[in-house]
Structure 1
Amino acid sequence: MKQNFTVRQGALDGVEVFLSVAQHHSFRRAAAELGVTPSAVSQAVRVLEERIGAALFIRTTRSVGLTEAGERFLSRAKPAFEELVAAGEVARGLGQRPAGLLRLSVPRAVVPILLEPLIASFCKAYPEVEVEIATSKELIDLAAEGFDAGIRLGQFVAADMVAVPLTPPFRLVVVGSPAYFAGHSRPEHTDDLRQHACLRWRRSGGALALWSFNDDGNAIEIAVTGPFIAHDFPTMLGAAVEGIGLAQLPEPMVAEGLRAGKLVHVLEPFAPVIPGVFLYYPSRRQIMPKLRAFIDHVKSRPADQGNVKGTR
């Protein structure tokens, strides 16, 4: 059977007043330190004593001393109260300037670009912020897992997140190696993929991703087949370069391989455009300065640093 519970109110009420009186051995001097009247100090101590159930001070017309209960209360309350005040100062500092631990969940493929030069330049600009990069293909719950922000392809960012673009929109392109095309004809239409070995990747939820295309303005998806399944884009890229089969990948990721002649672009007229890569974080009225500083740093970076070479 469900029981009724109430939150204890006023557990710290009067503690600061008690500590001040104990330090000065005077209600009047404590009142002056706290900026209140002596009667207010006396009332706060009286309420504290009633709540505790014991007298804490011995009062005379000339002096104020501690009872045994007061001595024991002081020995425990003073360090605890000082620690509480220190905790408040630490939290206040994190709320007023960029400092503390900034935790980011990112796909493995974007780490080199984040570290060079985005994260490196951010760490130099904000030395009081510690940046932790956790690579994962999973679409995790940022709040539940203790992350400040994440980085993912735009189509995987939930609608209730605030999203900041890291790249402009780009195409998903189909590529294969010259070695692969030495033994296979180049596909001219998406229907031709049935005769090709296609590299696939498994989403974090377990399903195999379909290949997406734009056919005269109509978005279509095709279930391809092939000898190889990867769990991330860099692994799929490596398999395509080795000639295992065709791969559909973000265009910025394959640009270097195309320039070097390690990859060949096919089905270009059918390549769909996707939103790009985004930094995202839970919607809040007020975000911590460390994250705000990182967002501002992302927005102010040179345009040529926006070509992220991989995604989820």
Structure 2
Amino acid sequence: MLAFSVVAEQGSFRGAAGRLGLSPSALSHAIRRLEDQLGSALLHRTTRSVAPTEAGARFLRILQPALNDIDRALLDLADTSGRIAGHVRINAHRNGAELLVLPKLGALQKEHPKITLELSVDEGLTDIVAAGYDMGIRIGERLAEDMIAVRLSPDHRTAVVAAPSYLEEMGTPDTPADLQQHRCIGYRFVTSGRLFVWRFAEGDREFETNFEPSLIVDDVQMSQRAAALGLGLAFVPRDAVEDQLEAGGLVEVLRRWSVTMPGDFLYYPSRRTLSPAARTVIDHLRKRSD
């Protein structure tokens, strides 16, 4: 019944098989056995998609609350036994993985050594359901439909940074308009292919800048690294380069023009029955770092 629920949710035997750790053929046989036991077809199968039949949709409406009750019962049992275990897969952008996940893993491992966490770094907008992930971390709460979003960080303040050696060579820009005369490191979105637009604020007015990047990357950490090597100015979340700013490896410029960006959100499918291990990971990631 859980297999049927996951197949209906993902609309794909391949995606559901990856989520459940089964082969597509084994999963298909399991659904066939369930249909034989119930005496009714639960899924419409085509070469391109899988969707519940009318009977399957009715069964799913009854089944889902029961699965949720079972999930809560397992979580309560696991809490009392102290033996929460399982494999949890997270898809996160690089700064989210480094700043919001890794620092909290020590406490998670000590309390729940039987949980295995698989962390995939991805700067694109991956469909976490189709790819078999339990949850994702992205900037902003406007995520895919049917997702539950949980804030993990406050909004970010932006910063334009450069290495001291670059500023000694090229000088320090006084206004955003001065960027036309500087080497700037652009960022290209992996999914859309668009270049990220640098935004600034003057009083209550926000505005964009236009310049020709001297270097374009598709990884935020690479942008920060390139700036530290003196290759140009980078536009980054300030908290991602806090340590480098304090150590003097990077210098912030145009500070009075900075703006805020949406914070980071953890998100997961609202219709999925979360395992006790996944719920435990979410609880740990929501905790503020000491």
Report which stretch shifted further, 287-296 or 200-209. Answer: 287-296
2:130 is the alignment partner of 1:144: yes
Q: Which residue among 36, 45, 49 is the counterpart of 1:11? A: 36
Relative to structure 1, the CA distance from residue 222 to residue 143 in structure 2 (aligned partners, 3 Å threshold; closer, same or farther) is: same
Q: Residue 161 and residue 8 in structure 1: after superposition, are their counterparts in 2 closer, same or farther (change >3 A)?
A: closer
CA separation in 1, counterparts of 2:71 and 2:143?
Answer: 31
Who is 1:178 aligned against?
A: 164
2:204 equivalent in structure 1: 217
2:178 alignment counterpart:
192
Would you say 1:162 and 2:148 are equivalent positions?
A: yes
C-alpha distance in 2, partners of 1:287/1:160?
14
| Identity percentage of aligned residues | 35
Distance in 1 (CA, whole Å) between partners of 2:34 and 2:72 is 27
222-231 or 155-164, which deviates more: 155-164
Counterpart-to-counterpart distance in 2, 1:273 and 1:228: 24
Of 242, 255, 266, the residue aligned with 1:279 is 266
CA contact (8 A) 1:199 1:225 kept: no
Q: Is the 8 A contact 2:93 2:138 kept in 1?
A: yes
Paired residues for 1:1-312 under 5 Å? 11-12=36-37, 96-97=74-75, 98-113=84-99, 116-154=102-140, 157-158=143-144, 160-204=146-190, 205-284=192-271, 287-302=274-289, 304=290
Q: CA deviation at 1:105?
A: 0.2
**How has the CA–CA distance of structure 1 residues 95 and 135 changed in structure 2, closer, same or farther, with 3 Å as cutoff?**
farther
Distance in 2 separating the partners of 1:153 and 1:237? 18
Deviations 1:20-77 (A, max 9, x none): xxxxxxxxxxxxxxxxxxxxxxxxxxxxxxxxxxxxxxxxxxxxxxxxxxxxxxxxxx
Paired residues of 1:200 and 1:224 also in contact (CA < 8 A): no
RMSD of aligned C-alpha atoms? 2.9
Query: Secondary structure at the residue paired with 1:187?
Result: coil
Q: 1:244 to 1:301 in 2, by over 3 A?
A: same
Instruction: Classify the secondary structure of the residue corresponding to 2:160.
Output: strand
What TM-score comes out, normalization by structure 1 length? Answer: 0.63
Closer, same or farther in 2 for the Cα pair 1:13/1:298, shift >3 Å? closer
- Any idea what SS the aligned residue of 1:262 has? coil
Shift of 1:271: 0.6
- In the alignment, the residues of structure 2 paired with residue 180 and residue 248 of structure 1 have an alpha-carbon distance, to the nearest angstrom, of 15
With normalisation by structure 2, the TM-score equals 0.68
The 3 A distance-change label for structure 1 pair 210 and 160 is: farther
CA spacing shift, 1:285–1:142, aligned 2, 3 Å: closer
| Contact 1:176/1:240 (8 A) holds in 2 | yes
**Alpha-carbon distance in 1 for matches of 2:171, 2:148:** 45
Closer, same or farther: CA 13–247 of 1 in aligned 2, 3 Å:
closer
Contact 1:210-1:224 within 8 A present in 2 as well: no
Residues 165, 13 of structure 1: CA spacing in aligned structure 2 closer, same or farther, 3 A cutoff? Answer: closer
Q: CA deviation at 1:93?
A: 7.5
CA contact (8 A) 1:178 1:264 kept: yes
The change in CA–CA distance for 1:148 and 1:10 in structure 2 (over 3 A counts) is: closer
Aligned residues between the structures: 222
